[in-house]
Amino acid sequence: MKKIGIVNGGGDTQAMNAVIASIVRTGVNRDYKFLGFIKGWEGLLDNEYIPLEVKDVRGISHIGGTILQTTNKGRFAAKEGDGQTRKIPQDLINLAKKNAAMLGVEAFIVIGGDGTLSGAQQLVDQGIKLIGVPKTIDNDLSIVDKTFGFSTAVDIVVEALDRIHTTALSHNRVFFVETMGRYAGWIALHAGLAGAANAILIPELQFDYKNLVNFLSWRKRIGKNYSIVVVAEGSRAVNEDFVTNPEFTAAENRLGGISYEIMKRIERMSPGEFEMRNVILGHTQRGGTPNAEDRILAKVYGTSAIDALDAERFGHMVALVDGEMRTVPITDVVSSLKLVTDEDLSLQTARKLGIYFGEEFNS
Amino acid sequence: MKKIGIVNGGGDTQAMNAVIASIVRTGVNRDYKFLGFIKGWEGLLDNEYIPLEVKDVRGISHIGGTILQTTNKGRFAAKEGDGQTRKIPQDLINLAKKNAAMLGVEAFIVIGGDGTLSGAQQLVDQGIKLIGVPKTIDNDLSIVDKTFGFSTAVDIVVEALDRIHTTALSHNRVFFVETMGRYAGWIALHAGLAGAANAILIPELQFDYKNLVNFLSWRKRIGKNYSIVVVAEGSRAVNEDFVTNPEFTAAENRLGGISYEIMKRIERMSPGEFEMRNVILGHTQRGGTPNAEDRILAKVYGTSAIDALDAERFGHMVALVDGEMRTVPITDVVSSLKLVTDEDLSLQTARKLGIYFGEEFNS
Amino acid sequence: MKKIGIVNGGGDTQAMNAVIASIVRTGVNRDYKFLGFIKGWEGLLDNEYIPLEVKDVRGISHIGGTILQTTNKGRFAAKEGDGQTRKIPQDLINLAKKNAAMLGVEAFIVIGGDGTLSGAQQLVDQGIKLIGVPKTIDNDLSIVDKTFGFSTAVDIVVEALDRIHTTALSHNRVFFVETMGRYAGWIALHAGLAGAANAILIPELQFDYKNLVNFLSWRKRIGKNYSIVVVAEGSRAVNEDFVTNPEFTAAENRLGGISYEIMKRIERMSPGEFEMRNVILGHTQRGGTPNAEDRILAKVYGTSAIDALDAERFGHMVALVDGEMRTVPITDVVSSLKLVTDEDLSLQTARKLGIYFGEEFNS
Amino acid sequence: MKKIGIVNGGGDTQAMNAVIASIVRTGVNRDYKFLGFIKGWEGLLDNEYIPLEVKDVRGISHIGGTILQTTNKGRFAAKEGDGQTRKIPQDLINLAKKNAAMLGVEAFIVIGGDGTLSGAQQLVDQGIKLIGVPKTIDNDLSIVDKTFGFSTAVDIVVEALDRIHTTALSHNRVFFVETMGRYAGWIALHAGLAGAANAILIPELQFDYKNLVNFLSWRKRIGKNYSIVVVAEGSRAVNEDFVTNPEFTAAENRLGGISYEIMKRIERMSPGEFEMRNVILGHTQRGGTPNAEDRILAKVYGTSAIDALDAERFGHMVALVDGEMRTVPITDVVSSLKLVTDEDLSLQTARKLGIYFGEEFNS
């Protein structure tokens, strides 16, 4: 009977518990034993963990969050805020190895995104046996078709857009609905397409304030009495940075979100022309009950991680690629992010339907 | 056969269509005919209206918004932003009477809140026959037990709080969830109570930043790894106004919400102590499908308006008072708002459960 | 410090955990200690219980079911299936007293409906100190305005009706949606009103098959291409009993529901005239997340139970009566059920809107 | 400017309006004009249609049903109840051609499932130009990855299962949740997997009553206090047919569903051993708001249909195959259904998690 450590890292998403539960349920049938480390690798470094048997994972698959807690500031986080990779200190790696040996943990299943998996790769390089499970609400891991949590996040944004639509119809307003998506605009794009936004701003397609104002003015001019703009949090205008308040420190200024920034800029460019409101969904996009698709995806990933363990595919990640479960080297996955490109079917569909993406607009 | 004008005013709420539909369905059986005026009294002044038969209101009761559109800036709006009453110009009232006479409209059913009904009262004083139907998402009309839309708004905030709870558990964060409620804190109070907030800030109970920071620090100190604060948009700190950005105009500064203001203040008072995030639900609280209770309430109000019409209770409003439908003079309703007081059962319940309301806190 | 036993009985409803949590949270602040008995009084008789501290009730208020489990077949259940009261054997009462004494439990809070509270009254008569908390998904307890769980159950049925409406529009069909409600039709009435049913059948208003068929035929004749009928499970036709299958035993025959019975009868009376389908929501109406209103109600009841304990109102039940929390003798509550009557505002509203209730119909 | 007829057939699913809207929005930009035929080909045969411009499809994409209505009993339906193909009479085809010519309709977009597309193929063979769009809630069209409506249907079943779980925990019961799926078990399989069913019965895997009873008894024996069984409506036991009631006609007997049948059989085999309840979700699975994924899928299909029109791919169907939009000959699609096989990833995952599928069971 092999003892396996379960480690999750980074921000939580809706179906992490479903992954953990399916790992344990499947693994126990194949004679594995599990320890769950609290707050990811932190739990290994600090010797905080719980044994995980089937009774411990009963009835958790439809509950958001993670019973193991998580952190995106752990000592093994290997990506800085600017996306640069950071080397994990050797003494910490040694400590991890020592603790694992003392606990009799022979291998790990690591559930995480770009940052967590980059760190995991450094452990692999040092001889630690582990299997990766991809996790990102932003769906921006390269190679992987789809990650759990993303579909639920899109559902949540679309529900908000549906609500905004009925109320917007009555008033002459411009609504900005700010979504997650620091580097990749998948949530904004899918939600805006499903929820019938008039414009979608994403990090991959920088916008120009002048064009945006032209677009909004044009809609007013042709008699549309409202506009709904979905904005990914990482969206940026060409050649422009946030307007900072000199009275505030940098930390204070960072508290403002992109939707406020845009509203303030537009108000400054065309004072009084638009009545604007924003909605910031924030962490509601990460929490709550996962939808059916995300639960299935999580269960497919969790059970496949045990298959990969059986096959001793250490240093690999289980990944749904073109609809099939495979294992791919972790290094291949973390080398670049999956961003929205012009070839994407959902972007193309949105464009055919006339959704505006911040491009040149004169009319 | 009497011809009746239907007029709605102010912001929309989720079950306005259900009211309109039940007025028409019930009224047609009693030999009334209906005209629906577009954007409230504006439609009467501008001769924009649609005839409303049963076929026109089929299948709309579960859809948010209003098929008649609405505005809170109409010429008959009788409350300023500061809550002061404004006199409607006599020539406009004369125009309204003339247009009504030309259309053969003998009486009106007016669906609206404090502002719309204050205006309606001035028309009543000038001999226009009308029945009022109370409408406010904030549930702040005096005398009236409950208005439609409020219950759905609370559901929406609670759903967001549920989502925040699962994700908050994993991180050491303070979440501010900003709700509607300019003068009255009912939505924040009910949602915070149902959704298990740790603190609730409402306009009726001014808070002090120092106490709030003490409370949040105390929670950290006793090992709670997160705090969820529900903030009504009209909440204010004692003796403090918004920090304004001198680079911005007044209009630009107004775009910021109270949750940002609070986060910035706290960051300034205790730099780096709290990792804070906010959620602004904004107009999502007004839109979408009404819940069952709001639909029933709307249907009760709509059918009762026809009873009041039959009884010629002009100048009165239909109102659910202590669980019974009555008619009350509109003047009685608009003289003051219903605010949260210490006697309120939900406030008392929240306090018994240890929810913090911004009061003195030393610990 | 007083030790209090928490006992729940009968079928579960959505906000039972919220009641339990608010009892414990409020009570602990007032120096009470709590034991939760598993499966109600069964747990006391069998010495199965868990201590309940604040940490044990954290994060359960929005989860359906009850952490204490429940049964409607316990030894202290005091109502038979036919509604007749049953005397609890003296030796069992003695055993309960003995066990309570051994555990140092001085008083109980009993959460239950008609059956559980009838049993509780017999214990009160024998000197056991207890406070009642009303619980019935059917909302049929007399005196009490509203019980938790009911509002959520109505929401669930309405959501199903909304779904049926969009699909029904396309087909010429009659849909029967069967709801809970063995003796009282509150769920069917409220859901049918909110969800725009064409007809509602409830136990209080017996229907006649001939009239029902006339009504459905009339709708077809006037060009309505579908009918939606909400049927409470306890609805019965005048002078008619279920058609039984002679091949089956009584137990087997009981497995069929009223909606099947109605469809079969109608098919027999007018072969091929109607294409009929049914939906049976069953126990989905009891489970899942409680809505905001039910959570608030549960928290109001739970905290008030502690107030009643402080005031030593033993033998009484906390009850929301005309919008205020009071205590009423348990005997007053269990003497009769609260049924739908012609005076009910929701029934009157439904009738004004033209909803059919099984009455005489010729057209 | 080409005039195109839009035709939908068969049962409705949640995102049909989204398809229609995206066809019109995209097509109008490319200079097409559209007529929508009422109830599919029936509308062409009877000259019932409506012109469809952008204004006619505004705000319908999130609403279930179809603004064009549909029927699964039209004169061009080409599959019998037994799955056998039926030849459409030549005179009807001639009539269709004549009417199309008179209206100036040059080509059709046909949205439908196996039956509708089989009929469409016969029209193609007779020279009618059309593009197919796949539609089946059961997701059983061969070649096609996924059809719109399916994902929402699964969500609906899972929501019911979540509710059942919380209530089931309190009682010793067996719940049967009956889902759609006459020939293919995709909905039952996906929902049962996501919603943590204990057993799933699907048409592809015939079950044996004795094994099923053994499985349920075993769960009781090992202390599981409830079982949840998801049953696709088309599930059948090996060598067994429905128990018919000799008092009823064949039509009457057909009204009973498979879940009743199973409960009755089990009650007969083990009288009193199990307390059983069923839930029949019926047409709720077809209606209401489509989820985000289904809306996106529908918009991808709708816009692609215009691309196929531009490319004159008549006689072909747009199809998502391995994640890419292609066109495939309609004949290829209707030759066989896509059924659940042992190779399916979701079936394999469910089996790894220990879900029972009716197979041999001795324990």
For residues D83 and D183, the answer to whether their CB atoms sit within 8 Å is: yes
Question: Chain B closest CA to A260's CA: distance in Å?
Answer: 7
D251 pLDDT exceeds 60? no
Q: Report the number of distinct structural domains present in chain D.
A: 2
Instruction: State the pLDDT confidence band at D11, using cuts at 50, 70 and 90.
Output: confident
Q: Render the burial of D136-161: b for 16+ CB within 10 Å, e for the rest.
A: bbbbbbbbbbbbbbbbbbbbbbbbbb
Q: Does A165 lie in the same domain as A125?
A: no
pLDDT in the model for residue D37: 97
Nearest to A354 among D25, D62, D292 (CB): D25
Q: Which of B95, B142, B87 is nearest to B118 (CA)?
A: B87
Residues in chain D closer than 8 A to C166 (CB atoms): 12, 14, 63-65, 287-288
Q: Which of A82-91, C218-227, C274-283, D250-259 has the lowest mean pLDDT?
A: D250-259
DSSP D32: E
Q: Does C242 lie in the same domain as C172?
A: yes
Give the separation between CA A171 and CA A275, rounded to whole angstroms: 9
Question: Which residues have a Cβ under 8 Å from the Cβ of A130 and sit 6 or more positions away?
Answer: A7, A107, A108, A109, A110, A120, A123, A124, A314, A315
Amino acid at A51: P
Q: What is the mean pLDDT of residues B144-163?
A: 96
Question: Chain C closest CA to D287's CA: distance in Å?
Answer: 4
pLDDT above 90 covers a percentage of chain C that reads 77
Residues in chain C closer than 8 A to B158 (CB atoms): 291-292, 295
Q: Which of A99, B193, D259, A84 is nearest to C296 (CA)?
A: B193
**Structural domain of D40:** 2-149+290-321
DSSP string, B70-124: --SS-TT--B-TTS-B-PPPHHHHHHHHHHHHHHT--EEEEEE-HHHHHHHHHHH
Give the separation between CA A173 and CA A358, rounded to whole angstroms: 19
pLDDT in the model for residue A151: 97
Encode pLDDT of C266-304 as tens digits.
Answer: 988 999 899 899 999 999 999 999 999 999 999 999 999
pLDDT in the model for residue D169: 74
Residue C128, strand partner residues: none
Q: Does C126 lie in the same domain as C155?
A: no
A114 pLDDT exceeds 60? yes
Flag if D164 and C284 touch (Cβ within 8 Å): yes
pLDDT in the model for residue D362: 82
A283 pLDDT exceeds 90? yes
Q: Which of B153, B19, B115, B93 is nearest to B333 (CA)?
A: B115
Q: How many CB atoms lie within 10 A of CB A351?
A: 16
Within-domain flag for C311: yes
What mean pLDDT is reported for chain C? 92
Give the separation between CA B262 and CA B237, rounded to whole angstroms: 9
B102 pLDDT exceeds 70? yes
Q: Does D237 lie in the same domain as D175?
A: yes
Instruction: State the pLDDT confidence band at B85, using cuts at 50, 70 and 90.
Output: confident
B145 touches chain C (CB under 8 A): yes
Q: What is the mean pLDDT of residues B332-337?
A: 88
Encode pLDDT of B268-300 as tens digits.
Answer: 899 989 989 999 999 999 999 999 999 999 999
Task: Report the SS3 class of residue C69.
Answer: coil
D166 pLDDT exceeds 90? no
Q: Does D173 lie in the same domain as D131?
A: no
Q: Does B181 lie in the same domain as B126?
A: no
Q: What is the mean pLDDT of residues B27-53?
A: 96
C244 pLDDT exceeds 80? no
Give the separation between CA D4 and CA D17, rounded to whole angstroms: 17
Encode pLDDT of D255-300 as tens digits.
Answer: 668 898 899 889 889 998 998 999 999 999 999 999 999 999 999 9
Positions of A marked active-site: 138
Within-domain flag for A362: no
Within-domain flag for C247: yes
Instruction: State the pLDDT confidence band at B250, using cuts at 50, 70 and 90.
Output: low
Q: Does D173 lie in the same domain as D99?
A: no
Within the 36-95 window of chain D, which residues sit less than 8 Å (CB to CB) from chain C? 63-66, 69-72
Give the separation between CA D290 and CA D22, rounded to whole angstroms: 15
For D295, the token pair is 């809306």
For the entire predicted model, the pTM comes to: 0.95
Q: Does B219 lie in the same domain as B73?
A: no
pLDDT in the model for residue A86: 85
Give the separation between CA B23 and CA D296, rounded to whole angstroms: 37
B168 touches chain A (CB under 8 A): yes
Give the separation between CA D169 and CA C287, rounded to whole angstroms: 10
Which chains does chain C touch, 3 or more C-beta pairs < 8 A? B, D
B170 touches chain A (CB under 8 A): yes
Within-domain flag for A103: yes
A211 CB burial (10 A radius; 0-12, 13-18, 19+): middle
Dihedral of CA atoms A220, A224, A225, A228 in degrees, nearest 10, equals -90
B155 touches chain C (CB under 8 A): yes
Residue spans of alpha helices (H) in A30-113: 41-45, 90-103
Within-domain flag for D357: no
D277 touches chain C (CB under 8 A): yes
Amino acid at A308: A
Q: CATH no. for residue D81?
A: 3.40.50.450
A55 pLDDT exceeds 80? yes
For residues A322 and A128, the answer to whether their CB atoms sit within 8 Å is: no
Q: Which residue in D has a C-alpha nearest to residue C253's C-alpha?
A: D264
More confident residue, A10 or D169: A10
Q: Helices D292-310 and D150-168: crossing angle, nearest 10°?
A: 170
Q: Does C145 lie in the same domain as C12?
A: yes
D355 pLDDT exceeds 70? yes
Helix or strand run (H / E) with residue C229: strand C226-232
Q: How many CB atoms lie within 10 A of CB C101?
A: 10
Question: Chain A closest CA to B122's CA: distance in Å?
Answer: 25
For C355, the token pair is 């909803």
A196 pLDDT exceeds 60? yes
D245 pLDDT exceeds 80? no
DSSP string, C23-35: HHHHHHHTTEEEE
For C29, the token pair is 């602040």
Flag if B287 and A63 touch (Cβ within 8 Å): no
Within-domain flag for B168: yes
More confident residue, B255 or A187: A187
Angle at D159 between CA D9 and CA D138, to 5 degrees: 25
B248 pLDDT exceeds 60? no
Helix or strand run (H / E) with residue D292: helix D292-310
Q: CATH no. for residue B221?
A: 3.40.50.460
B20 touches chain A (CB under 8 A): no
Flag if A291 and D289 touch (Cβ within 8 Å): no
For A20, the token pair is 């953990």
Among candidate residues B31, B56, B91, B138, the one labeled active-site is B138
For an interface test with B, which of A161, A167, A182 has the most B Cβ atoms less than 10 Å from its Cβ?
Answer: A167
Instruction: State the pLDDT confidence band at B70, using cuts at 50, 70 and 90.
Output: confident
Task: Report the SS3 class of residue C279.
Answer: strand
Flag if C292 and B194 touch (Cβ within 8 Å): yes
pLDDT in the model for residue B31: 96
Give the separation between CA D321 and CA C288, rounded to whole angstroms: 37
Within-domain flag for A114: yes
Phi, psi angle pair for D178, to nearest 5°: -90, 130
Task: Report the SS3 class of residue A329.
Answer: strand
Q: List C-alpha distances in Å: B175 to A302, B280, B281.
A: 31, 11, 13
Nearest to D280 among C255, C278, C286 (CB): C278
D329 CB burial (10 A radius; 0-12, 13-18, 19+): middle
For residues B136 and B145, the answer to whether their CB atoms sit within 8 Å is: no
Dihedral of CA atoms C205, C210, C213, C218 in degrees, nearest 10, equals -100
Instruction: State the pLDDT confidence band at A131, using cuts at 50, 70 and 90.
Output: very high
Q: What is the mean pLDDT of residues D11-35?
A: 95
Flag if B278 and A280 touch (Cβ within 8 Å): yes
Encode pLDDT of C93-123 as tens digits.
Answer: 999 999 999 999 999 999 999 889 999 999 9
Instruction: State the pLDDT confidence band at B252, using cuts at 50, 70 and 90.
Output: low
Nearest to C283 among D256, D267, D277 (CB): D277
Nearest to B255 among A72, A264, A272 (CB): A264
Question: Chain A closest CA to B311's CA: distance in Å?
Answer: 32
Q: Does C132 lie in the same domain as C235?
A: no
Q: Between β-strands D32-37 and D49-51, what pairing exists: parallel, antiparallel or unpaired?
A: antiparallel
Task: Report the SS3 class of residue C135.
Answer: coil
Within-domain flag for D327: no
Q: Does C6 lie in the same domain as C114?
A: yes
Q: Does B348 lie in the same domain as B205?
A: yes
pLDDT in the model for residue D77: 80
pLDDT in the model for residue A10: 86
B254 pLDDT exceeds 70? no
Is ipTM beyond 0.90? Answer: yes
pLDDT in the model for residue C246: 59
Instruction: State the pLDDT confidence band at A221, using cuts at 50, 70 and 90.
Output: very high
For residues B358 and B211, the answer to whether their CB atoms sit within 8 Å is: yes
pLDDT in the model for residue C323: 87
Flag if B66 and A247 touch (Cβ within 8 Å): no
A260 pLDDT exceeds 80? yes
What mean pLDDT is reported for chain B? 92
Give the separation between CA B141 and CA B15, rounded to whole angstroms: 17
B243 pLDDT exceeds 60? no
For an interface test with C, which of B198, B293, B320 has the most C Cβ atoms less than 10 Å from its Cβ?
Answer: B293
Report the Cα–Cα distance between both ends of chain C, in Å, rounded. 70
